[in-house]
Structure 1
Amino acid sequence: MKALITWGGWTGHQPERIADIFNRMLTEEGLDVTVTDSLSCFDDPDLLASLDLIVPVWTMADLSRDAARNVSEAVARGTGLAGCHGGMCDAFRGNPLWQFITGANWVAHPGGDGVKHRVTITSDDPLVAGLSDFDVETEQYYLHTDPANRVLATTRTDVVTWYHSPNGAVDMPVVWTRSWGLGRVYYNALGHAPDVIATGTPYEMLRRGLLWAAAGKAAAAGQSINHLQHAGNHG
């Protein structure tokens, strides 16, 4: 299987180090991995179509409408998309199509870094089977999420009191899967710092998720998306 990891954007998320973790993760599983620090790869629809998996590691960058459409078409035909934290769901704030594909967009992390909170497994999906609830000390992401996401883990937003608190605590999704056409999409909100996802349960969750997304390409082989195609929303 062929995977592409592309990293860059805001340096506070240490994208190169996160990309290194993903590279090691996938290489150890036998994938043929290409790593780039450029978004020009998204301008090549033939390249994207040849991949089993795309792993974006970008935060607060700009993505053109055409590039987003290229990714959309590749994923819709089976190429997997998987990633974590701001590298995927705070990647391109100005691109609604990207947010639709990934299933969310970041809006806040009340309390900043170092917030102690629990991640609760909420599914019996094989991607989290055998994993237990765990505590982390990092950013607790508040996301605007697609209700169609298949949520695998959540966190309770009663840890930090702020302007959102009068609305009441909610179980905020942390990990989910979703479909985009024939493609598989996986997201994990952890990963503000590399050490958060470098070992333990967070690493295992991501390992399973990335491999699951990559396996969607073979599962989509021979299927058509003709019945799903539409002009789309051009704003």
Structure 2
Amino acid sequence: MKKSALIVWGGWDGHQPEQVAEIFKGILEEENFQVEVSNSLESYGDKEKLRSLDLIVPHWTMGEIERKFVLNISEAVAAGVGLAGCHGGMCDSFRNNVDWQFMTGGNWVAHPGNDGVEYMVNIKHSSSPLLEGISDFKVVSEQYYLHYDPAVEVLATTRFPVFHGPHAANKAVDMPVVWTKRWGNGNVFYSSLGHQANIVSMPEVSQIMRRGFLWAAEGKKRAEELDAASCYGNVRTYTGMGDSQ
């Protein structure tokens, strides 16, 4: 039986959201997913449909979202639906919505030097085998500086500073590039790589996204084996208390 995925793209055109969505669609179809592609946030309005999915792939940079849509996604992911995305399409979405940032694991704050910075992506040894066999590689793109959740499991990093700026007065830091986290019974996957379609198409980057999609979509099976109802109820109660826009 095919797994099902929903890709929702939009927001700032500079990230080429439609082109990236098509690349993601191709990857998922190669993995035998049934894929729906939408360019409307209204796609998050049907909570029962979201809960029937195996994977949600957001690719929407900046903009505003109705709070009820974020709550619908949060409940679906907590019940086992995977959430996976990249770059500003997932962790620079809806800057005024802290519930979204809490669920996804972080948010973009800067890219010193803007596009065209050459930097290394360093694969980290961790408890996760997700990136096994992928070697460190060089990227010429935006280098994302993120504020991130200390609960995430970091699978790849990049070293700052590479480009001059006020941040360079601090000691060198290793910033996450790829991470995973749990949200209830759901798997959440993020990669900061993917400024435009040419970066997403890089062999290393597309392989990272492929593995992330497959891993995130495994949460549904685990949820069936656990008592999802109690976790789902707890998350719903918590997010209902927030003051998100």
TM-score, normalised with respect to structure 1: 0.97
Retained in 2: the 8 A contact 1:41–1:47?
Answer: no
Say whether 1:41 aligns with 2:43.
yes
How many residues align? The count is: 235
Letter in 2 for 1:197: V
**Contact 1:117–1:159 (8 Å) recurs in 2:** yes
1:142, distance to aligned residue in structure 2 (A): 0.3
Match of residue 201 from structure 1: 204
* 1:110 maps to which of 105, 109, 112: 112
C-alpha offsets along residues 112-162 of structure 1, whole Å, 9 cap, x if unaligned?
A: 000000000012532110110000000000000000000000000120111
Aligned counterpart, 2:226:
223
Q: What does residue range 1-235 of structure 1 map to in structure 2 within 5 Å?
A: 1-124=3-126, 125-228=128-231, 229=234, 231-232=237-238, 233-235=241-243
Higher helix share: 2
Is the partner of 2:25 in helix, strand or coil? helix
Q: Pairwise CA RMSD of aligned residues?
A: 1.1
Equivalent pair of 2:88/2:108 in contact (CA under 8 Å) = yes
**AA matched with 2:93:** A
AA aligned opposite 1:183: G
Pairwise CA distance, 1:224:
2.1
Distance 1:31 1:226, change over 3 A: closer
Give the distance between the partners of 1:96 and 1:144, measured in 2 at CA: 12
Task: State the SS of the aligned residue for 2:166.
Answer: coil
Unaligned runs of 5+ in 2: none
TM-score w.r.t. the length of structure 2 is: 0.93
